[in-house]
Chains A and B, each alone.
Chain A
Amino acid sequence: MSADWQTQDWKAAWQPLAEAVGRDFGDGTVVFGADAVEPGTIRRYTEPLEISCPIHYDAGAARAAGYPDVVAPYTATMVYSVPPMWRPGEPTLYESSDRDAQPARSPINNEDLPLAPKTTGFFATDISMEFLRPVTVGERVGRRGQRLISCTPKQTSMGRGAFLTWESELVTERGEVVARVRTGTYAYNPAGPDPAGPDPAGPDPAGPEEEQP
Chain B
Amino acid sequence: MTSLASRQRTFGDVTVGEELPSVEFPLTVYRLVVAAGGNRDFNSIHHNTAYAQATGAPEMYASTFILMGMWERLVRDYIGPAGTIRSIRDFRMRRFNLVGSVVEVRGRVRDARREDAHGIVTLEVESLVDGQVTVGPGTVEVTVPAASTAEAAA
Contacts and interface: CB of A to CB of B under 8 A. Distances in A.
A61 B4 contact: yes
A117 interface: no
A108 B43 contact: yes
A126 B38 contact: no
A38 B41 CA distance: 18
A126 B91 contact: yes
B56 A75 contact: no
Contacts of A47: 34, 38
A66 B97 CA distance: 35
A79 interface: yes
A49 B48 CA distance: 20
A70 B42 CA distance: 26
Interface in A187-202: 190-191
A190 B138 CA distance: 28
Contacts of A113: none
A97 interface: no
Contacts of A51: 69, 72-73, 76
A178 B130 CA distance: 36
Interface in B20-60: 25, 31, 34-35, 37-45, 48, 50-51, 54-57
A39 interface: no
A6 B77 CA distance: 51
Nearest to B65: A79
Interface residues of B, number: 56
Interface string B96-111: 1100000000000000
B34 A64 contact: no
A92 B97 CA distance: 32
B81 A54 contact: yes
A124 to B, nearest CB: 4
B88 A129 contact: yes
By CB atoms of chain A within 10 A, which of B34, B40, B88, B94 has the most?
A: B40
Contact of A48 (B8, B31, B40): B31
Closest 10 CB pairs of A and B: A44-B38, A158-B56, A65-B81, A126-B92, A48-B35, A213-B93, A75-B68, A124-B64, A65-B82, A48-B34
Interface of A: 34, 41, 44-51, 53-55, 60-62, 64-66, 73-76, 78-79, 82, 85, 99-100, 102-103, 106, 108-109, 120-131, 133-134, 157-159, 184, 190-191, 208-213
27 contacts: A44-B37, A45-B69, A46-B38, A48-B69, A51-B69, A51-B72, A51-B73, A53-B77, A54-B81, A64-B81, A65-B4, A65-B8, A74-B72, A75-B72, A75-B88, A82-B40, A100-B51, A102-B51, A108-B41, A126-B90, A127-B91, A129-B88, A158-B55, A158-B56, A184-B92, A209-B95, A213-B93
